[in-house]
A and B are shown apart, each in its own frame.
Chain A
Amino acid sequence: MVRANGEELDIAGKTITEYLAMTDYDVRVIAVERNEEIVPKARYAETVLCDGDVVEIVTFMGGG
């Protein structure tokens, strides 16, 4: 299981790209943190989520 934004999900084995495709996240306005490291956007397609990973997706809101 992978913990994503506090929720236990059965997504181990999927890449970040594959996981994001299952969600409503807009990839242009997010940052993905995995086990306390940022995953560069260029590596979403090759980064495979492993059992026990902790993932947080930060969504940027417009305004400043």
Chain B
Amino acid sequence: MSALIQRHGAALQGAFSAATVAVCGLGGLGSNIAILLARAGIGKLILIDFDRVDITNLHRQQYKASQIGVYKTDALTDNLREIAPYIELEAHTERITEDNAVMLLKDADIVCEAFDDAKAKAMLTDIVLSEMPDKYLVTASGMAGMGTANSIKTRRITSRFYLSGDEISEVSDDIGLVAPRVALCAAHQAHTVLRIIAKQFEV
């Protein structure tokens, strides 16, 4: 903690360590967001994903070859514990749906949408913004392919709804996901979370 106060200052670090952030989806976006927030000294992370680590994840997601086949919630919990032993972690190995989202996210101050499926992104956005009006939502849209890094940006759509990405680059058979560009988008989201906690709401 004193090391973090040295880096961030006591006031900022106090706010970071008092915050609870939910990360919905632990793939290329979510695994990077969680590690960035853990390093920054966020007090508690709620990690939600139904899937296991697959060999095709390793090119962009923060897992190790030795973790193939392990639930992402378990693998990321282990990795985060090595990086930030004092963080509080709550993991849910299940799919987020319209029926369980309110319950799963109830303790979060800020929700990060880090899914890969566009319909799931829209579903979570709808439910968080319509049924959880006290929370902030940080979403992502458009980070596939080899486009310039400089087109990844963050917009504030409403007072509690942020969107990171280039908003156009969709995954397809021809356009995959490349580690640095996905990580850039994840870093945008993680930094937006920190700025919200620091009450710097403009982008």
Contact = CB atoms under 8 A, between A and B. Distances in A.
B141 A59 contact: yes
Interface in B87-124: 114-119, 121-122
Interface residues of B, number: 36
A62 B126 contact: no
Nearest to B144: A63
B182 interface: yes
A56 B157 contact: yes
Interface string B140-170: 1111100000000000011101010101111
B139 interface: yes
Given A28-B122, A31-B122, A33-B158, A61 B170 contact: yes
Interface residues of A toward B: which range?
Answer: 10 to 19
B161 A63 contact: no
B43 interface: no
A58 B157 contact: yes
B129 to A, nearest CB: 4
Interface of B: 25, 27-30, 114-119, 121-122, 125-126, 129-130, 139-144, 157-159, 161, 163, 165, 167-171, 177, 182
Interface of A: 28-31, 33, 36-38, 40-42, 56, 58-64
